[in-house]
Amino acid sequence: MSHIQWRKSSYSGDADGNNCVELGQTDAAILLRESDDPCVVITTTPAALRGLVARIKTGGFDHMAG
């Protein structure tokens, strides 16, 4: 997956310790990884990622907060 161009949020700084989720894309999939463990990659579809983000924005996971 070295040919993937990974992107991270503009809210993340470049200093050490500013780990974040990074996104990449292939022709058929969206890739997610944690910047401090880049060898672990999760693959999903654009539709599934849109659904996840929509649910987060509407508070669908708020009941899980501690």
What pLDDT was estimated at residue 13?
67
Confidence (pTM)? 0.71
Contact between 21 and 12 under an 8 Å Cβ cutoff? The reply is no
Write the pLDDT tens digit of every residue in 14-40.
666 667 889 999 988 999 998 888 899
| In contact, 4 and 31? CB cutoff 8 Å | yes
Element (H, E) at 54: helix 46-57
User: For the chain, what are the domain ranges?
Assistant: 20-64
